[in-house]
Amino acid sequence: MSTITKLLRNNVRQYGMFLVLVLIMGLFQILSDGTLLKPLNITNLVLQNSYILILVIGMLLVIITGHIDLSVGSIAAFIGAMAAVMMVNYHMPFPLAMLLCLLMGALIGAWQGFWVAAVGIPSFIVTLAGMLLFRGLTMLVLGGQSIGPFPGGFRSISSGFIPDIPGNWNVHMLTLLLGAVLSLLYIFMEWRGRITQSRYQFEVLSLPLFIAKVAFIVIIINLFTFVLSAYNGIPNVLVILFALVVLYTFVMRKTVMGRHIYAVGGNEKAARLSGVKTKKMTFWVFVNMGVMAALAGLIFTARLNAATPKAGVNFELDAIAACFIGGASASGGVGTVIGAMIGGLVMGVMNNGMSLIGLGIDYQQGIKGLVLLLAVAFDIYNKNKTAA
């Protein structure tokens, strides 16, 4: 028991929100009479929150470097509008239009990164200006009207599912197989990591605790894929999201670039004196944010099957809140991709659960605000406790 207590205390940021997520899901599962965890609702939960979770990945890097981006909702709306003009008005093939939109997102990120990194204007001001600028451009491009519908191939990105193995199955068999493969891969990576840590004489979990931890995660993975397989299987957008999570987790944990991003947010002056090109790193973090906002905008537009002037409203607030709830520090230098994903899921489950039990939007906004406040207060409390 003392080992478990020590483990939780030392990893309170990592495990705290995961436990909160489990508790919130359990609460809404009871309050909604079992509707929350039904296969259809879980699939809808994934589809409805995919674009926010993609934004969260980009926003996390921005927050780790000690900045903020208030313009991502407007950028997503602007990119959606440009995609509509290219695909609907000019009949451009959707893969080419998507590529151009992602490049446009990178250029927008470079524009904002230039003012923040090279000129030294606070990111709050630059992105506030960007929020107004790109919202205005969105209305200008759309002429105040919605544009749609989109080609079927483009729509399938956000509403389609991976195909199943041919055969007469009662469930989506490929989804179950992928769950099993993912479980084996996870076990292998955890076991290899344990051997490596032991080789360098780092402290590792006792074998029973290690087995319990791995078994718990494997059960979660297979329960999730089982629920998805009972409906239509894995959505296409979940494949994109999973690839992004794996890629960015690797970059932030294993590469020099990831360490430099943490260093910039932890202490920019010390990082610069250590040889980190802080301005260059900040610039590329904003370029990355622009690409993520563009991708989220494309997925949201494909889901709506139309580009609208009001698209993307409050996206930035949801993404920022998810990062802080997921353990990112308001002063920079701290945060993980997995933690931010859990924060995004907490927000998504709360939105979905409160809608299922019929809570009004006024109550929903208030409750989400309180959760965000408590998450940041918890972060500051932990920081003060560590410093004491």
141, 269: one domain: yes
Is the confidence at residue 10, as pLDDT, over 60?
Answer: no
pLDDT the model gives residue 383: 66
The band of 248, judged by pLDDT with boundaries at 50, 70 and 90, is very high
89, 225: one domain: no
* Mean pLDDT comparison of 208-217, 234-243, 267-276, 319-328, highest-scoring range: 234-243
Residue where a domain terminates, one of 173, 200, 234: 234
177, 142: one domain: no
The band of 6, judged by pLDDT with boundaries at 50, 70 and 90, is low
150, 203: one domain: no
Displacement of CA 62 from its chain's centroid (Å) = 13
143, 278: one domain: yes
Query: Which candidate, 214, 209, 244, 231, places its Cα nearest to that of 52?
Result: 244
Evaluate whether residue 27 is within a structural domain. no
156, 173: one domain: no
In the predicted model, what is the mean pLDDT of residues 105-111? 96
Of all residues in the chain, the percent with pLDDT exceeding 70 is: 94
137, 275: one domain: yes
Evaluate whether residue 203 is within a structural domain. yes
* Mean pLDDT comparison of 34-38, 82-86, 333-337, highest-scoring range: 82-86
Evaluate whether residue 368 is within a structural domain. no
92, 213: one domain: no
Q: Angle at the Cα of 219 (from 218 to 223), degrees rounded to 5?
A: 120
In the predicted model, what is the mean pLDDT of residues 353-367? 86
pLDDT the model gives residue 12: 60
- Per the CB < 8 A criterion, the answer to whether 127 and 111 are in contact is no
Evaluate whether residue 248 is within a structural domain. no
In the predicted model, what is the mean pLDDT of residues 123-134? 95
Evaluate whether residue 324 is within a structural domain. yes
170, 263: one domain: no
pLDDT the model gives residue 191: 93
- Helices 337-356 & 39-64 angle (0-180, nearest 10): 140
pLDDT the model gives residue 359: 84
Q: Which structural domain range is residue 301 located in? A: 38-160+259-361
Evaluate whether residue 9 is within a structural domain. no
The band of 68, judged by pLDDT with boundaries at 50, 70 and 90, is very high
- Structural domains of the chain, count: 2
Chain mean pLDDT for the chain: 89
Identify which has the larger pLDDT, 3 or 206. 206
pLDDT the model gives residue 21: 84
53, 152: one domain: yes
146, 203: one domain: no
130, 275: one domain: yes
Lowest mean pLDDT among 14-23, 148-157, 184-193: 14-23
Query: Which candidate, 241, 216, 262, places its Cα nearest to that of 64?
Result: 262
Is the confidence at residue 285, as pLDDT, over 70?
Answer: yes
Evaluate whether residue 254 is within a structural domain. no
